[in-house]
Structures are given as structure tokens and as C-alpha cells.
Chain A
Amino acid sequence: AQKVTQAQTEISVVEKEDVTLDCVYETRDTTYYLFWYKQPPSGELVFLIRRNSFDEQNEISGRYSWNFQKSTSSFNFTITASQVVDSAVYFCALSEDETSYDKVIFGPGTSLSVIP
């Protein structure tokens, strides 16, 4: 069965520190997709990134970077030089390609607080 674990419930960092949010997933499919979403205090959910199971290349977008490792079933998210605007709940999510009817399983979320 699909499962997504985000072991860190809450993280606090001081502005300009780097922070890594962990995500570990379980799936039996060989083709699957991983996502990160951000939910700021205002409440909306914003898509950040998608990764395919067959593409392990890490990705960097500005201060954000993602490390996908199939060997450890992890898809971690690092924010470099954190800012107060990064304060949010971050969700890692998984969907499988085979008969999942586009169902996405969300992890429990990690609440990040960036202190000025």
C-alpha cells in the first residue's frame, strides 16, 4: 500500500539557516510520482515540484532543492538561507501510475517556522 512519512512534525529555524524536510515513501509500483506542496499560514495549498520515479536527478530552484534517492525511498526538500516567508506546512505526496485513479497520498506535513 502507498504510504508517505514525514517524521518531522515541527521544525523551527532562525532566518538564514538552511533546513531540510524529510520525506520517506512506500510503494510497490515501479512507476510513481512524488510531489511537494506548501501550505502557508493563509491556508492555500501550492504545488512546488513533481518528480518521476525514473528520474533521480536532483533539482534546484533558487533557494529550494530536492534530493530524490530511490535506494532509501526518500525525497527530501532543502531550503537554503531560509526566510520568514518560508514559514508554512510542507506536504510530501505520492501517486502511483498503475490503477491508482490519480489518487494522491499526502504525508502528515511538516510545520516549518522561520524566526526572524
Chain B
Amino acid sequence: DTAVSQTPKYLVTQMGNDKSIKCEQNLGHDTMYWYKQDSKKFLKIMFSYNNKELIINETVPNRFSPKSPDKAHLNLHINSLELGDSAVYFCASSHTGANQPQHFGDGTRLSIL
């Protein structure tokens, strides 16, 4: 009965590789998000999708490409991984509206060697 699930939980890979993180929510939410949390715990929005449409893109490098096949899924593909991409990536979802709390996945810890 997991609400927001993201896979994998850990991702260790070499610089220059391409990798994907998957996210699925079973809460019936219309909006999904990707956040990056750096080593100092700062949480920064990367992307937001509402009903499969991109609505927030926070000056993230083009190497990051989100894809939402349906409103229950929001995947994140990263090309040409760099050392600075090492972080914890969180997927979240919510009902539409600024007053709606977000429900987070457990995070994916990405480590670039």
C-alpha cells in the first residue's frame, strides 16, 4: 500500500553514464514533482507535472529530462552524469492547489564515481 514509490533506492554509477529513476503514486494525485536534496539537506524543486503536463522547470540542465506517461508516473532520466549530480532525489505528489501538502517517496541516493 505504498503511496509514492520510487526506484531504485540507491544508484551508484560512473561519470558520463545515463540513468533513470522511476516514480509512481497510487494516491490519485494530479501533480507530481522531482526534488533534489544536496549534501547540506537543501531541498530544491526541479520539475513539476500536472496531469502529464510540465508546469515547473527550475533551470535544470538539459541533461535532466522528466517523462510523465500518465498522471500516476513521473520518471527522471539523466544523461551524461556529472559529479555534481550526486544527491538524493525525491519524487512527490499532491492534489492540485497551492494549499495541498505533498507526499514524498523515500528518495533515491545517486552517487557518481
Contact = CB atoms under 8 A, between A and B. Distances in A.
Interface string B21-46: 00000000001000000001111110
B88 A43 contact: yes
A103 interface: yes
Interface stretch (B11-19, B61-69, B74-82, B96-104): B96-104
Interface stretch (A18-26, A45-53, A75-83): A45-53
B57 to A, nearest CB: 10
Contacts of A112: none
A102 B107 contact: no
**B31, B90, B99: which has the most chain A beta carbons within 10 Å?**
B99
Interface in A25-45: 32-33, 35, 37, 39, 43-45
A101 B30 CA distance: 12
Nearest to B44: A106
A44 B99 contact: no
A87 interface: no
Contact of A101 (B48, B100, B102, B107): B48
Contacts of B106: 43-44
Interface in A63-115: 89, 91, 95-97, 100-106, 108-109, 111
A32 B99 CA distance: 8
A108 B104 contact: no
A46 B2 CA distance: 14
A16 to B, nearest CB: 26
A103 B90 contact: no
A47 B27 CA distance: 15
A96 B99 contact: no
Contact of A102 (B42, B100, B103, B105): B100
Contacts of B88: 43
B99 A95 contact: yes
Interface of A: 32-33, 35, 37, 39, 43-47, 50, 52, 89, 91, 95-97, 100-106, 108-109, 111
Interface of B: 31, 40-45, 48, 50, 55-56, 88, 90, 92, 94, 96-107
